[in-house]
Amino acid sequence: MFRELSAGVVATVFIVGAVGAAELRPIQSTARMNGAAVRKIERGIMVGLQEVLPKFPASVVIEPIVSDLRFESGGKRFWLGAMAGSSRVTVRVRITQGGQIFEKSFYQNSGAWKGAWTIGAADNFMLERVAHDAVDYVMQRPWEAPGKNEGAAEVGVSPQAAESVPVAQPAPPTGSSTDVLYSDLTKLDDLRKRGLITDEEFEVRKKRILEKR
């Protein structure tokens, strides 16, 4: 059963589960991360687990955590192509059951040129892949055979001890050159669309902006 509590900028908050079912907690992220990308990862995990949650013990609690995210949108890919850089994401899945903690991290990326050639489709597919990895790990039921699960690095750790481990925080944004370039080009395009400059003037100014980078 899905119940939407709110739809914030960072992530849509959902509570998943029912009596006798495992609990899937809202995805954790930071305000600096791309909210749309975080929500896409969360939806992928929710859809992948909705059929099996009722089959898991009610004592199982699943917490997905986005510990690192750089996501280049289709708009940036359209304007900047490979110059927008690569996309990357790391999702950590923490499973608590019977006083034990099982954790594993999953990393996916989308190269700059692949993202450019697909105009952002590869970047979005990256989010789907990491959500699938998270779902696949939960489906292995690591709490049933802790000794056989690679990546269950904190088996036997108490929930209180696990809570003392902070979620990795990304470095604060510093106004990268690609962000400035994207902003300059979108402003220039806005002038063209409003008829304040001609197409010829747009191309000349666009060339000047790109030559400065």
Q: Which pLDDT does position 179 carry in this prediction?
A: 67
Q: How many CA atoms are closer than 13 Å to the CA of 29, on its beta-carbon side?
A: 27
28-80 tens-digit pLDDT = 999 899 999 999 999 999 999 999 999 999 999 999 999 999 999 888 888 88
Q: What is the CA radius of gyration of the chain?
A: 21
Q: How buried is residue 125: exposed, middle or buried, by Cβ count under 10 Å (0-12/13-18/19+)?
A: middle
Task: Supply the pTM of this predicted model.
Answer: 0.66
Find all residues with CB under 8 Å of 190, minimum gap 6, and list them.
none
Choose between 75 and 126: higher pLDDT: 126
